[in-house]
Amino acid sequence: ETGVTQSPTHLIKTRGQQVTLRCSSQSGHNTVSWYQQALGQGPQFIFQYYREEENGRGNFPPRFSGLQFPNYSSELNVNALELDDSALYLCASSPGLAGVAYNEQFFGPGTRLTVL
Amino acid sequence: AQSVAQPEDQVKVAEGNPLTVKCTYSVSGNPYLFWYVQYPNRGLQFLLKYITGDNLVKGSYGFEAEFNKSQTSFHLKKPSALVSDSALYFCAVRDMRNGGFKTIFGAGTRLFVKA
pLDDT tens, residue by residue, B31-84: 899 999 999 878 899 999 999 889 999 999 999 999 999 999 999 999 999 999
Q: Quick one: pLDDT at residue B25? A: 95
Please report the pLDDT score of residue A98 as a whole number: 59
Residues above pLDDT 90, as percent of chain B: 78
| pLDDT recorded at residue B96 | 74
Query: For A12-40, how does the pLDDT look when each residue is reduced to its tens digit (9 = 90+)?
Result: 999 999 999 999 998 888 899 999 999 98
Nearest chain A alpha carbon to B33: A102
For residue B74, the tally of other CB atoms under 10 A from its CB is 27
Q: Cα–Cα distance between B69 and B89 in angstroms, integer?
A: 21
CA distances to B31, B42, B57, B76 from B73, in Å = 10, 27, 13, 10
- Tell me if B21 sits within 8 A of B11, measured CB to CB: yes
Distance CA B11, CA B101 (A): 30
Phi, then psi, of A18 in degrees rounded to 5: -115, 150
Contacts of B3 in chain A (CB under 8 A): none
**Nearest residue of B to residue A91, measured between CA atoms:** B43
Q: State what percent of residues in chain B have pLDDT above 70.
A: 97
Condensed to tens digits (0 to 9), the pLDDT of residues A64-79 reads: 999 999 988 999 999 9
Give the pLDDT confidence score for residue A1 in this predicted structure.
Answer: 55
Tens-digit pLDDT profile for residues A44-64: 999 999 889 998 899 999 999
Is A58 within 8 Å of B42 when comparing Cβ atoms? no
Cβ contact, residue pair B98, A41, below 8 Å? no
Say if residue A2's pLDDT is above 80: no
CB B51 within 8 A of CB B32: yes
Chain B interface test: which of A47, A104, A106, A112 (most B C-beta within 10 Å):
A104
Q: How far is B15 from chain A (nearest CA, A)?
A: 25
Average pLDDT, chain B: 93
- pLDDT score of A51: 86
Helix (H, G, I), strand (E, B) or coil at A80: coil
CB B32 to CB A102 under 8 A?
yes
The contact set of B with A (CB < 8 A) is: 32, 34, 36, 41-46, 49, 51, 90, 92, 94, 96, 98-108
pLDDT in tens, A62-116: 999 999 999 889 999 999 999 999 999 999 998 876 556 778 899 999 999 999 9
Measured in angstroms, the CA of A108 and the nearest CA of chain B are apart by 5
Q: Burial letters for A31-65: b for 16+ Cβ neighbours within 10 Å, e otherwise?
A: bbbbbbbeeeebbbbbbbbbeeeebbbbebeeebb
